[in-house]
Amino acid sequence: MPEPSEPEPWWRRAVFYQIYPRSFADSGGDGVGDLEGIRRHLDHLTWLGVDALWISPIYRSPMADFGYDIADHCAVDPLFGDLDALDRLVTDAHERGLRVVLDWVANHTSDRHPWFEASRSSVDDPHRDWYVWRDGRDGAPPNNWRASFTGEVIWPRDADGQLRPILGLEPRPEADASAWRREPRSGQWYLHSFLPEQPDLNWRNPEVVRAMHAVLRFWLDRGVDGFRADALAAVAKPADLADLPEAWAAVPGSDLHDDPVVHDMLRGVRAVLDDYPGDRVLIGEVHYPDLARVLAYYGGPEGRELDLAFDFPPMLDAWRADRWRAHIDETAARFDPVDAWPAWVLSNHDFPRHADRFGSDARARAAAVLLLTLRGTPFVYQGEELGLVDAEVPAADRLDPGGRDGCRAPLPWTAAPDHGWPGSRPWLPFAANVDGHDVASERRDPRSVLHLYRALLTARRASPALQTGRFRWIDAPEPVLAYRREAPGDERLVAVNTGSQAVAVAAPGDWIVEVSADRVGEGARYDGTLGPDGAVVLRPA
């Protein structure tokens, strides 16, 4: 935790941009994005004004889970390039002042990883205990845990405000829902919280810890600025691997576990990062509906752990002022007293895009104003800066075992029929609203969503209040979220109308519209009215 006299770590002021490398930009003409494609488009990202890139996995992989199944942690998959391409990307990004954060998948490897191939080869193999092997129960799996992707879990709030898991998709009939698979050679079962091709590592084995630390050092030595740690709840499985209560039996165990083993693991990783200069960042995917549990992953008296954890409950909630006010208040009430810093996110590669979920372009614009002016570090998912919705992928054409293809559509760079993806057809179709929502067209139109993101990022970069200042609500009618951001000598006022009626929102004092969600009226005095879905950032006149 920084002393007040220490400068804030860079990641508190930063805006992160998530790159899903298969879908960002293709330099090779094979229809799949690659590292050289990212490097060639760095100017776009600096023009946009983000500070750091998080790149989803680029490691050697059979791609059963599109890279989240790693067969060699220290090699780049040939689809994406090679180590030289990664080095060139990091060097060029750094020259432009962009940090680079890689994905780190701790919970599992690919079943084709040499560690697992050795582990499954015999009960006596030295790697056997690197994974989680158990005897079955009378020919049945060792416990009642389910794997992910056998039915979708979402976390809606009931009318009584309680969070409850429900299955959003019917489990696929052919899917084996168990999180265990029997290995015929030994007759034992191995645990896979996700696909059978993704066996879970055993983090209680010190050799796994050592091997993974070596992986992290391999990339830190190459100059990467930190990691986004995948699926931490799955790592936190209890040692006894006991059955889940019946009410939870249909929920993938990877969304439920919260055992202290994960905190030992994170403190160890933190120590590795702290060996390196420059505030290397550790961002965690802690997919719990309950913020108190997420906060524990920032560490405690026994030591620091994560720097940032995604605040997922608001991402999975409706576009309603009362819900967002409650999430923002709860985050502040829990995080501020211990100086933990939230990470806000509206979309990523696992969930339908917010322009789809919130139902209109105008709402997505208003949500962007909120995302980029809250107290905390925002994460922008590639394509949201264009206002993209998901691609429509007919069931028969779906590639992802979790049904998440829609939000992974390739980024359209131009208005041409190939949208800047020459050569083979891209691996997925373009977004349903691709027409007019490509980078080149939006760069020409100052009212585009792209220019809105750029204006918000420019305003944020110039304002200590927006970056790290205090947050204070101001009075506003119910469908509106209105707040001040304040730092010494600097302040901004933000008002976001989540409703579809114009509404009067008084701003005490005299204010100029710095950014407006529809780009109308910027530079003029704020007149006290927000249009339908309107949102503004105001600076003192």
Contact positions toward ligand ISL, by CB under 6 A? 65, 68, 105, 148, 152, 194, 230-231, 285, 287, 349-350, 402, 404
Distance of CA 89 to the CA centre of its chain: 21
- Cα–Cα dist 417/489, whole Å: 50
Q: How far is the CB of 312 from ligand ISL (least distance, A)?
A: 8
- Cα–Cα dist 342/331, whole Å: 7
Q: How many helices (H) and strands (E) does the chain have?
A: 16, 24
Q: How far is the CB of 386 from ligand ISL (least distance, A)?
A: 21
Measured over the CA atoms of residue 21, residue 25, residue 31 and residue 35, the dihedral's sign is negative
Q: Which is nearer to ligand ISL, 151 or 531 (CB)?
A: 151
- Among candidate residues 36, 230, 279, 518, the one labeled active-site is 230
Q: How far is the CB of 352 from ligand ISL (least distance, A)?
A: 10
- Cα–Cα dist 227/216, whole Å: 9
The one-letter code for the residue type at 396 is: A
Cα angle, residue 514 at apex, residues 512 and 518 outer, rounded to 5°: 115
- Side-chain-side CA neighbours of 238 within 13 Å: the count stands at 11
- Cα–Cα dist 24/44, whole Å: 12
**513 phi, psi to nearest 5 deg:** -75, 110
- Cα–Cα dist 442/160, whole Å: 43
Which ranges in 307-419 belong to alpha helices (H)?
Answer: 312-315, 321-335, 354-357, 361-371
Under 8 Å between Cβ of 222 and 243: no
Q: Which is nearer to ligand ISL, 289 or 531 (CB)?
A: 289
Q: How far is the CB of 209 from ligand ISL (least distance, A)?
A: 19
Q: Which is nearer to ligand ISL, 285 or 533 (CB)?
A: 285
Q: How far is the CB of 457 from ligand ISL (least distance, A)?
A: 24
Q: Which is nearer to ligand ISL, 407 or 495 (CB)?
A: 407
Q: Which is nearer to ligand ISL, 194 or 335 (CB)?
A: 194
Q: How far is the CB of 132 from ligand ISL (least distance, A)?
A: 16
Q: Which is nearer to ligand ISL, 20 or 298 (CB)?
A: 20
3-state secondary structure of 467: helix
Look up residue 396 and give its two tokens. Answer: 């028969």
- Among candidate residues 285, 307, 317, 438, the one labeled active-site is 285
Q: Which among 104, 129, 116 is positioned nearest to 225, based on CA atoms?
A: 104
Q: Which among 155, 286, 294, 269 is positioned nearest to 208, based on CA atoms?
A: 269
Under 8 Å between Cβ of 180 and 192: yes
Q: Which is nearer to ligand ISL, 151 or 479 (CB)?
A: 151
Under 8 Å between Cβ of 216 and 272: yes
Q: Which is nearer to ligand ISL, 227 or 511 (CB)?
A: 227
Q: How far is the CB of 484 from ligand ISL (least distance, A)?
A: 34
Q: How far is the CB of 402 from ligand ISL (least distance, A)?
A: 5
285 annotated active-site: yes
Q: In what order do the strands lie in the sheet with 343-345?
A: 308-309, 281-284, 226-230, 99-105, 52-55, 16-19, 377-381, 343-345
527 annotated active-site: no
The catalytic site residues sit at 230, 285
